[in-house]
Amino acid sequence: MRKKGAVPIFLEYDQAGLDAQYEQRTFIPHAEEIIQRYGAASDAVRARLGEPETLAYGPSAAEALDLYGRDRKKIVVFVHGGAWKRQRRRDQAFAAETFVNAGAAYAAIGFGLLPSITLPEMAAQVRQALVFIEDRFKPERLVLVGHSSGAHLSACALTRTDFVKAALLISGPYDLLPVRLSARNEYVRLDERLEDEYSPNRHVDRIRCPVTVAWSEKEGAEFTRQSKTFAAALESRKLLVQAIEAKGLNHFEIVETLADPASLLGRAALTMLA
């Protein structure tokens, strides 16, 4: 929202209000504690499953993926969040058992982070990881799951591939206009052309697979709006499978529920493997 007398720059938000909407730590001061749980849970998963097979899909050190599970006929690919500038693939194994126990493989992909590379380069790396998996393993089912900025990158990949069978996109931004207008653009570095090119909700006609869109009950208002608007755009193209609002959870907690096969997200993702 905006303070009395302040000039709105996007919808009802003034600059300070918009900046707050695109920094989740404004609403979740213990966010880092939750994110650290991802790493601890991933360590515990590796203690049970063993170390993953690590494969390079590109020339840089960041362009690698960790692959859990021996059966490669069905593969779930996970794209992590972190505001396009944080987190690493090593801490993204927390959901692997959900899929390995169902007879699938689980790939946590790594990629370069802003500001060391550009957003187009990052999106290209995520797409290249998918192409690598498709070409190398030729899975019967390739399912894409992304969270937060990883949901955005996953949605961008869906507009540029035709072999993903289904996708689960969690708490992402799908239109970059408010991002460009917010403080985040100091490192995302969008202009109007990039904003349009990398706003997936403007290119849903390019998506070829069914998509489930999820968000948490305790999202900031903008991330809730982004999710609902993108779900509506998908529905208009008959691509939306379902829209899920995870009750009682916040932006960082929702993705943890993928580790529970009985959760809303766990069930939705497992259904995509059938």
Contact of 117 with 148, CB cutoff 8 Å: no
Contact of 83 with 112, CB cutoff 8 Å: no
Which pLDDT does position 227 carry in this prediction? Answer: 98
Assign residue 77 a region: left if phi > 0, alpha if psi is -120 to 50, beta otherwise? Answer: beta
Quote the mean pLDDT of the chain.
Answer: 97
Which pLDDT does position 6 carry in this prediction? Answer: 80
Nearest to 259 by CA among 144, 39, 94: 94
The DSSP call for residue 216 is E
Q: How confident is the model at residue 254 (pLDDT cuts 50, 70, 90)?
A: very high
Q: How confident is the model at residue 152 (pLDDT cuts 50, 70, 90)?
A: very high
Of all residues in the chain, the percent with pLDDT exceeding 90 is 96
For the chain, how far is it from start to end, CA to CA, in angstroms?
A: 43
Which pLDDT does position 91 carry in this prediction? Answer: 98
Tell me the per-residue pLDDT of 82-123, one tens digit each, with 9 for 90 and over. 999 999 999 999 999 999 999 999 999 999 999 999 999 999
pTM comes to 0.97
C-alpha 159/C-alpha 187 separation (Å) is 24
Which pLDDT does position 135 carry in this prediction? Answer: 98
